[in-house]
Amino acid sequence: MLTVVIVLLAIIAAIFGLVLGYSAIRFKVEGNPIVDQIDSLLPQTQCGQCTYPGCRPYAEAIANGEADINQCPPGGEATIIALADLLDVEFKPLNAEHGEAKQTKTIVVIDEQTCIGCTLCIQACPVDAILGSAKHMHTIISSECTGCDLCIPPCPVDCIHIVPVEQNMNNWKWPAPSGGHAAPRAT
């Protein structure tokens, strides 16, 4: 009788082991899902102003408690608010040590007449938005430029200038309603 009980328990344990093993493989979660959620809220400029080499490492640092939510100047206040809501923490204003938030989206342009082709701006660009080669003029691929302005400081001839992004059908956004007015209700 005791042998039958032991064999029955061994069979049940084997069945549960197989079910758990299958479940572990079938429903495996890659990485930390909160990192993906944080990363999706960040602007993906890969500018490094937060002291991390890109948005994904910054998201990982936030998830691990190694970084604060207010280190992303390109994301500005809207990103900080979204991160505070997601992580259920208090809002903090942008940390000035990492830069200032821009009111309007900008990109950079190179004055091609002044450019000496030193390639320092190419080396500084985190998203490869600058096209050119040594001793030849450079130009900005405006659709790739994130406006991080990291290419400006290394330029020895000051030929890189910040310009606001022109509004067109692809980037225009409806202005936010001014406060104080309630939307009419349907009756």
Are 76 and 124 contained in the same domain?
no
**Does 109 fall in a domain?**
yes
Amino acid at 132: G
Residue 171 is predicted with a pLDDT of: 65
Are 108 and 84 contained in the same domain?
no
Residue 66 is predicted with a pLDDT of: 93
Residue 20's CB: how many other CB atoms inside 10 A?
10
Are 85 and 111 contained in the same domain?
no
CATH at 143 = 3.30.70.20
**Does 20 fall in a domain?**
no
Positions of the chain with pLDDT lower than 50, given as ranges: 182-183, 187
Q: Which of 81, 98, 115 is the last residue of a domain?
A: 98
**Domain, as residue range, for 69:** 33-98
**Does 9 fall in a domain?**
no
**pLDDT tens figures, 105-131:** 888 999 988 999 999 999 988 888 999
Residue 81 is predicted with a pLDDT of: 92
Are 108 and 159 contained in the same domain?
yes
Residue 12's CB: how many other CB atoms inside 10 A?
10
**DSSP-derived secondary structure for 84-97:** HHHHT----PPPGG
Are 94 and 117 contained in the same domain?
no
Residue 176 is predicted with a pLDDT of: 64
Q: Which of 98, 129, 146 is the last residue of a domain?
A: 98
What secondary structure letter does DSSP report for 70? Answer: T
Are 154 and 114 contained in the same domain?
yes
Q: Which of 66, 98, 130 is the last residue of a domain?
A: 98
**Does 126 fall in a domain?**
yes
